[in-house]
Structure 1
């Protein structure tokens, strides 16, 4: 089968198209014929060797995909050959930058007829992460003010919609006037172009928008120095969710910024969550249904062929994209 493999850690140039043997569905596994695979910042971290569960090369990256069931292993029930599905990697599967992948059945969900496979491939990482952080961890809902950082990213645009649909007032932060305006189209109450409000000015603008109170929930998808600002932007008794650290620098915690507020810091990491017992299927089903009935809109900005995975990573790391980048692998 066709695949994109990493034979050594490095930049986007180490993503090499190869031919590898077809995988086989073992007991409790589903063989998925992949139509589309989502591209995420975690994939870039895996490629560069800094992701905590990257494994060692050679390896096939990719943590989310959609396609059809090609075969089922012993003990698998509820899924049939030819069924349209979405799948995610719990750290044990080989990765989805490939035509086929053998996936544990607990990571595979059947799709509604109205949901196309390219859109579905964008759900398991960014959307599931935003959903879990806002609905389960932070409990964001009606009456809350929610700050979403990097709101023009895949996870950010998902978070804006999820929080707004739950009745929260969303303040969307993004790194350019164009990105901030775009993020505002998904239901944000207010937007902040962080390029116009660098450093402490960002904190002051968030406090101005919230009447000096701060936000009930801050979804920090950036880390590093942005996380220190998140602690200053949260309200008394609020919650700061540490979803990611794409800054790849230490996230400084000054207890003076949140301790007097009785605020909480909530950590999140999807792979570890699953290792410790989280079953993602119910949440993925609900997300897929809400996208299928157009409650949510998944902005897939760029679709590239599998063999252009390098170009996809280059675009991702330049932060040129608004919304998701997806690799077209097979027939969608």
Structure 2
């Protein structure tokens, strides 16, 4: 099989396309023939050595993907050969990921892709959708389902980003009123396509004032991508006993809190990195995301506010560079 590998941390040029034997699934595993692979910021950061250093002689990058089950390992009764699946955290805990024609993963990381859902959508779920799910369920609501967010207002910062877009779509499906912040009219159009009810361009006015005008009573949950720059706004607009779920460090690496102004609001700060989330929360995320896909509530492409950027496997380095440069939408690797 063709696979992209690297043997040292560094720039995208350390990756090379090579031939490797098709792996065999071990006990509890399935072998998946990949059709699409998704590229996330975590992929280039791990490759560059920013969030992990090389611990095996060779690594194939890629956490997300979608394809077809080709073979089943001993002890697996939950899957069938020919089943369409989407993958999450494929490379976490092992040296091989989804930038290859085949990959073996623990069966629980291969989730059935609902009928009618494209492989493009399946490969776009994983890190963005599951992170968004955890951000939404880190407060008063522990599952995302129709009606579970009825009567609640959710603020999503960076609604044109991959996680922000998924958070908008999931929260709208669950019945929330969704406000999102963006930095340009073009990104406002993407957030609108995702289903956000109210758009605030933080570069054109006072974001906190605009959000309070939309939600005078305050917002119940905040999905936060840039806490270092947004925390003052967040405190101004959140309800007492609300939750601020932080999944990234855009805009700065340090967050300073005024203690009295913060604890007087009884706030909960939930910091999220998908690779440390409890198994029960991962399972709930996979189940709820799949239900949203089956309901048509999660979409990609322009109509879903997620422009798609396709690269062949031999151009995986360019795909990594595009994500590192801040490509808006979803970068995918085509395996067939």
**Gaps in structure 1 of 5+ consecutive residues:** none
Q: CA deviation at 1:281?
A: 4.4
> Equivalent residue for 1:241?
245
Q: CA deviation at 1:253?
A: 3.2
> Equivalent residue for 2:136?
134
8 Å CA contact 2:8, 2:54 repeated in 1? no
Q: 1:279 to 1:32 in 2, by over 3 A?
A: farther
8 Å CA contact 2:179, 2:200 repeated in 1? yes
Q: 1:159 to 1:55 in 2, by over 3 A?
A: farther
* Structure 1 position 205 matched with structure 2 position 210: yes
- Partner SS, residue 103 of structure 2: strand
Alignment of 1:71-110 (within 5 A): 71-89=71-89, 91-93=92-94, 94-110=96-112
Q: CA deviation at 1:34?
A: 0.9
* Count of residues paired in the alignment: 323
Spell out, residue by residue over 1:10-43, the C-alpha distance to the aligned partner (whole angstroms, 9 max, x if none): 3333333232333221111111111111111111
8 Å CA contact 1:231, 1:240 repeated in 2? no
Distance 1:286 1:29 in 2: 22
* Structure 1 position 260 matched with structure 2 position 264: yes
- Partner SS, residue 224 of structure 1: helix
**Gaps in structure 2 of 5+ consecutive residues:** 142-147, 301-305
> Equivalent residue for 2:333?
327
8 Å CA contact 2:9, 2:53 repeated in 1? no
Deviation >4 Å, runs of 4+: 52-57
8 Å CA contact 1:146, 1:215 repeated in 2? yes
Q: CA deviation at 1:149?
A: 1.2
Spell out, residue by residue over 1:243-295, the C-alpha distance to the aligned partner (whole angstroms, 9 max, x if none): 2234562233332442111111112222111xx43363454244234323323
> Equivalent residue for 1:291?
293
* Among 173, 176, 189, the residue aligned to 1:181: 189
Spell out, residue by residue over 1:126-157, the C-alpha distance to the aligned partner (whole angstroms, 9 max, x if none): 11221232145452712222111111111111
Q: 1:26 to 1:88 in 2, by over 3 A?
A: same
Q: CA deviation at 1:191?
A: 0.8
- Partner SS, residue 238 of structure 1: strand
> Equivalent residue for 1:303?
310
Distance 2:55 2:259 in 1: 34
8 Å CA contact 1:64, 1:87 repeated in 2? yes
8 Å CA contact 2:223, 2:245 repeated in 1? yes
Distance 1:232 1:317 in 2: 32
Spell out, residue by residue over 1:84-143, the C-alpha distance to the aligned partner (whole angstroms, 9 max, x if none): 111222622321111111101121122222112221111121112212321454527122
TM-score by length of 1: 0.87
